[in-house]
Amino acid sequence: MTPLDTPNPPLTRKDFTSDQEVRWCPGCGDYAILAAVQRMLPDLGVRRENTVFVSGIGCSSRFPYYMNTYGFHTIHGRAPAVATGVKLANPGLDVWLITGDGDGLSIGGNHLMHLLRRNLDLQVILFNNRIYGLTKGQYSPTSLVGKKSPSTPMGSVDNPVIPAAFALGCGARFVARAVDTEAKGLIATLTRAHQFKGTGFVEVFQNCPVFNDGAFDHFTAKDVAADQQLVLEHGKPMRFGKDKGLRLRPGSLDIEIVTLGEGGVTEADLLVHDETNRAQAFLLANLEPPAFPVAVGVLYCSPGTGTTFEVGMHEQNRVARARGLGDLNTLMRKGHTWTVEPDPAG
Amino acid sequence: MDTFSSNSTSQRELIDSVVIRFAGDSGDGMQLTGSQFSESTALMGNDLSTLPDFPAEIRAPAGTTFGVSGFQVHFAAHDVMTPGDAPDVLVAMNPAALRVNLRDLKTGGLLVVNTGAFTPGNLKKAGYDKSPLDDGSLAAYRLLKIDISKLTLQAVEPFGLGNKEALRAKNMWTLGLMMWLFGRERESTVEWLRQKFAKNPNIADANIAALNAGHVYGETAEMPQGIHCYQIPKAKLAPGHYRNVTGNEATAWGLIAGGQLAGLELVLGSYPITPASTILHTLSNLRAYGVTTFQAEDEIAAVCAAIGASYAGALGITSTSGPGLALKTEALGLAVSTELPLVVVDVQRGGPSTGLPTKTEQSDLLFAVYGRNGDCPLVVLAASTPGDCFTMAVEAVRLATKYMTPVILLTDGFLANSAEPWKIPDIGAMQPFPVAFRKDPAGFHPFVRDPQTLARAWAVPGTPGLEHRIGGLEKNYDSGNISYDADNHHKMTKVRAAKVAGVAEDIPLQAVDQGEDSGDLLVVGWGSTYGAISQAVLGARKAGLKVAHAHIRYMNPMPKNLGDLLRRFKKVLVPEMNNGMLVKILRSEYLVDARGMNKIAGQPFKIAEIEAEIRAQLEN
């Protein structure tokens, strides 16, 4: 493997683009995410040969085929487990895990949970389109209650999972959100995830124009985005729209919307985003329209001791091998052994 | 017991072989007693084989018949290949242990009972209306009644233990007595106790005192008539350096050896499951030897992590048992499709479903060979003895890396826990099989193949110029890119099959383990039935029957001469601990009229059972 500190030849978006024809439906949000990643990687200064995209199954999981890096399109839901093996074998690899709401939160929810709590040093991009696309439009674990689909013609009755809240609950130390078509915010968020030592979890609201078109329009459409999105910045007061802000309702742990200038409210009354505050991150993850704006950007970033699973495991290997690689011949001759001498009688 | 000589009680009676079964509550420490006795026996130069038999419950209610745990050891002055059909000696620590095990004891066998545990309560729990010790129902055996509980309490009294803790030492008292009876040395057990209780020397001393007290009791107490102490001369083993080894230990060491011979780091992904967990435990203690061990969140994650590790240039390994193998099947398909090396150890147990977790069976064979969606061939190996687990684990690593294929190594619960003296191999004398990763970008695509082995190139992330994508979708033969082309899929399916079939060119021809290579009857076995079949065939041949024994270790592909060998016999008998699996494969692959012999009792075959079937086959 090329050492990580080797100077990188300047690369361009083209260098990260494979020769395979992209086969998503016209207008799919996946195109925007692919373009953002291909644009971003040269700026991150990473090397193609040290970069690995690992995915599960679903529309989004075709992503690795379009990247001119190493890539592994695995089986449904299991990408976190495969990626764990990749990092255990070679912690130096820069791994991106591509998954969707069905792949990551339904069939693979268990693996995603354990990946997040183990805090492997890799990036997870969860493409959330609130629908099963590749199997033609069944409802997903992030579909809203009442979702009519081929498998729920009378509407779904189960409550959706909130991916960011799930990730926080699993012990994730970096949780962020971005919108597929907002390239600037998406690239900034993915860049932060990449910088993070540990699992950088990024949920991307991704439009499926065929089976769930406009699922996020109520907060991503150009005319409403400013009023319906709370763009988070660490250390900055939580403002959105022209004059709205969020504050803690006095005497409670609830967040309420206030209007600046009304009833003597000033910016000093607003909550200030502290991305290292886990309790606040939970409150932000659970803000939902129409009552509240959707929080986007980095909800939570707290490296803690900075210990990642694979580094911890390799540190143990290093301690175990402090005196060199063990000699199996010696090991097998330890303990109670005995020698049978050749029979002198033949 | 095969007796050779005198009856004197003052000197040791020379005997050729003996089978002892220790039985008690699952909390009585019978597994420790048995394994310590075996350790000492091996050091005395006897050949031996053991059969631990314990319930699935960790601590079943005390005194119940379903909580009985047993450990059988067979040792002799000659080659020992099975744990013995029926015990010559039964040690029963309580009424339940007597009730469960008495039917197996040979008539005239020695029966040692702890009368201290024959309380009205325990008798009732075991289903006795009155004590069998007093009603003459044990007259067919040589009964040795000792209040082991009381004698143990006396022996450990100076150490000031509580009553419960003091009573725990009764297994060591019993061990001491048995060591006296059979002339075993106590040193290895003393040493082991000191190590085990290094942080609590008082407990160590109490146990050693109990051990010694049992021994002294044997030396000094007046034994009932007909009970002697015995001597079993050393067995004539091939010269060399020996140790005792269980199948799971040997498997773990074989995997390490394989990794070193291949020049690869190992990554084990595993999820705890009986009876495979000790492979995970053993390897977790061997991180210094080039293995990273990962206890995954489930069986699927375990195999997927192993696959990810292989993709990234280590050798991925996963260890499991039947229910776990079931969960891993989709991932095995991925490893077959992406043609990545992978070793899967399946320590078989009784099925279906949860089945009999602590009992042995050979019922995953068809599943291992055929049990995946799609045409999904992979290599399947089977170890035949505890020591053979080492050899076949090395072989699994060799074939997985040379042919870029998953390999399933089948062992079973009996092999896993059973111990035998094992001539320790010299790693330095083994042929290395170093792996060469692809480095050269010229003409590279991920499915470019070695023309001879048909193995694809192993190109590892981190290698400049070889960036590529693989996955479970079908790929084009010529480029490795996704392909939905009909003819290409046909070709790729055939290539994957040909690659695995080609392994037959790289494995030993099927040998006849015993007998001629043609005749009236060939007994064909696989896996842990080796010892029982071998002894049964030996017996039948001594009686003049024209019978031979072949034992298959390469289950898929099979040795290329196997069909011819089968056809040179008038009859083929296939004893298996399942409802007929190898027999199905032999019949379908070779069109021979092989007949099955099946035992699905969670217990190994007895020699006599197979010998009787051999006779029945030849009489008809």
Q: What is the β-pairing status of strands A337-340 and B240-246?
A: antiparallel
pLDDT above 60 for A267? yes
Instruction: Give the count of beta carbons closer than 10 Å to the beta carbon of residue A39.
Output: 15
- Which chain A residues contact residue B314 at CB under 8 A? 88-90
Contacts of A325 in chain B (CB under 8 A): 288-290
To test the contact with chain B by mutation, choose from A15, A41, A46, A82 the residue with the greatest count of B C-beta atoms within 10 A, namely A82
In degrees rounded to 5, what are phi and psi of residue A238? -85, 90
Residue A254: Cβ within 10 Å count: 9
Distance CA B169, CA B175 (A): 10
H or E segment to which residue B18 belongs: strand B17-25
- DSSP label at residue A47: -
Would you call B332 an interface residue with chain A, using a CB distance cutoff of 8 Å?
no
Contacts of B239 in chain A (CB under 8 A): 339-343
Nearest Cα to Cα of residue B361 among B422, B274, B462: B274
What gap in Å lies between CA B408 and CA A138, rounded to an integer? 37
Over residues A158-166, mean pLDDT: 98
User: How much is the mean pLDDT over chain B?
Assistant: 95
Q: Which helix (H) or strand (E) holds B242?
A: strand B240-246
A268-284: average pLDDT: 97
pLDDT exceeds 60 at position A17: yes
Residues of B in contact with A120 (CB under 8 A): none
Residues in chain B with CB shorter than 8 Å from the CB of A87 are 308, 312
| Rounded-to-integer distance, Cα B327 and Cα B342, Å | 16
For residue A222, give the H/E element and its range: helix A222-228
Q: Which of B379, B402, B425, B389 is nearest to B262 (CA)?
A: B402
**Which of B79, B311, B458 is best to mutate for the A interface (most A CBs within 10 A)?**
B311
Is A340 in Cβ contact with B265 (below 8 Å)?
no
Which residues of chain B have a CB within 8 Å of the CB of A170?
none
Chain A positions touching B304 (Cβ under 8 A) are 74-75, 78, 81-82, 84-85, 111
The 10 Å Cβ neighbour count of residue A58 is: 26
Q: Mean pLDDT lowest for which of A265-269, A341-345, B390-394?
A: A341-345
CA distance B187 to chain A (A): 11
* Chain B: closest CA distance from residue A280 (Å): 29
- pLDDT score at B3: 42
Over the stretch A201-239, which tens digit does the pLDDT of each residue have? 999 999 999 999 999 999 999 999 999 999 999 999 999
Distance CA B558, CA A259 (A): 78
- ω before B275 within 30° of 0 (cis)? yes
Q: d(Cα B337, Cα B496) in Å, to the nearest integer? A: 8
A340 with B465: Cβ contact below 8 A: no
Inspect the interface and report whether the beta carbons of A341 and B472 lie closer than 8 Å: no
The total number of residues written for chain B in this structure:
620
**Facing residues of A131 across strands?**
A139
Is B195 an 8 Å CB contact of chain A? Answer: no
Query: What are the residue ranges in chain B where pLDDT is below 70?
Result: 1-11
What phi, psi does A203 have (nearest 5°)?
-90, 125
Task: State how far the Cα of A77 lies from the Cα of B114, in Å rounded to an integer.
Answer: 56
**C-alpha B97: how far from its chain's center?**
24
From the candidates A90, A112, A309, which should be mutated to test the interface with B, based on the most B CB atoms within 10 A? Answer: A90
Q: Which of A19, A78, A87 is the best mutation test for B, with the most CBs of B within 10 A?
A: A78
Q: Read off the tokens for A231.
A: 């763009």
Inspect the interface and report whether the beta carbons of B290 and A326 lie closer than 8 Å: yes
Q: Which of B361, B355, B328 is CA-nearest to residue B344?
A: B328
pLDDT band of residue A345 (cuts 50, 70, 90) is low
Chain A residues in contact with B43 by the CB 8 A cut-off are 336, 338
d(CA B72, CA B90): 9
pLDDT score at B237: 86
Residue A339: which of B241, B308, B470 has the nearest Cβ? B241
CB pairs below 8 Å between A and B: how many?
A: 216
- Burial of residue B474, with CB atoms counted within 10 A of its CB: 0-12 exposed, 13-18 middle, 19 or more buried: middle
The answer to whether the Cβ–Cβ distance between B42 and A82 falls below 8 Å is no
Q: Which alpha helices (H) appear in A77-162, and where do they start and end?
A: 79-89, 101-102, 109-118
Q: Do B473 and A73 touch (CB under 8 A)?
A: yes
Contact A20 B290 (CB under 8 A): no
Contact A74 B265 (CB under 8 A): no
- Residue B424 near chain A (CB below 8 Å): yes
Q: Where are the beta strands (DSSP E) in A80-171?
A: 94-100, 123-128
The CA distance from B325 to B332, in Å, is: 9
Q: Is B316 on the interface with A (CB under 8 A)?
A: yes
Record: contact A88-B313, CB cut-off 8 A: no
Length of chain A equals 346
Question: Would you state the pLDDT for residue B227?
Answer: 82
Q: How many angstroms separate the CA atoms of B89 and B73, rounded?
A: 10
Please say whether the beta carbons of B341 and B458 come within 8 A.
Answer: yes
How many Cα atoms sit within 13 Å of A273 on the Cβ side? Answer: 23
Cα dihedral B455→B402→A92→B269 (10° resolution) = 110
Q: Do A329 and B426 touch (CB under 8 A)?
A: yes
Residue carrying the six token digits 């009970």:
B227
Closest CA to B585 of B409, B399, B370: B370
Min Cα separation A67/chain B (Å): 8
pLDDT of residue A5: 64
- The Cα of A298 is separated from the nearest Cα of chain B by a number of Å equal to 28
Contact A86 B42 (CB under 8 A): no
Q: How far apart are CA B203 and CA B208, in angstroms?
A: 9
**Dihedral sign (CA B325, B331, B337, B340):** negative
Q: How many CB atoms are closer than 10 A to CB B154? A: 15
Q: Is B563 exposed, middle or buried (0-12, 13-18, 19+ CB in 10 A)?
A: middle
Whether B416 contacts B409, CB under 8 Å:
no
Supply the pTM of this predicted model: 0.94
Q: Which residues of B touch A333 (CB under 8 A)?
A: 241, 243, 424
- Contact call for A337 and B482, based on CB within 8 A: no
Distance from CA of B190 to the nearest CA of A (A): 13
Q: How far is A318 from chain B (nearest CA, A)?
A: 8
Residue B135 CB partners (closer than 8 Å, separation 6+): none
For position A206, what pLDDT does the model report? 98
Q: What is the DSSP string of B479-526?
A: T-SB---HHHHHHHHHHHHHHHHGGGGGSPPPPPSBS-SSEEEEEEEE
Please report, rounded to a whole number, the percentage of residues in chain A having pLDDT higher than 90: 93
Q: What is the ipTM of this complex?
A: 0.97
Q: Which amino acid is at B589?
A: E
SS3 B432: coil
